[in-house]
Amino acid sequence: MPKMIFIERDGTRKEVEAPVGLSVLEIAHRNNIDIEGACEGSLACSTCHVIVADDWFETLEEASEDEEDMLDLAFGLTATSRLGCQIIITEEKDGLTVALPQETRNMLLD
């Protein structure tokens, strides 16, 4: 089974199993990683914002226009920022590494 690595806000690296077909957001929730995902993956918020490791970013599918629009609302946006709900695990993504941003903003509560 593929694995992925989350780098938590305090710098702790957590390697977890990453079942094929699940999103990074779903995997985070299964493993008690502190990613909110307020809209439950419906692409209506940016609370599942993750920062993809540089060496993995180019291997991902391009972000959709809707994802780009939501990312514009994220705190701490970087050149390798993506929404965890939009990254689906495949065998080729074994070892995917993402970091959690220092802050998130839940626009659904504003």
Domain parsing of the chain, residue ranges:
3-99
- pLDDT value at position 108? 43
Q: What is the mean pLDDT of the chain?
A: 92
- pLDDT value at position 106? 47
The DSSP result for 8-62, as a single string, is -TTS-EEEEE--TT-BHHHHHHHTT-----TTTTSSS-STTEEEE-HHHHTTSPP
The CATH-assigned architecture of domain 3-99 is Roll (3.10)
CB 4 within 8 A of CB 95: yes
pLDDT tens digits for range 44-96: 999 999 999 999 999 999 999 999 999 998 888 999 999 999 999 999 999 99
- pLDDT value at position 104? 57
Torsion of CA 70, 8, 23, 49, to 10 degrees: 0
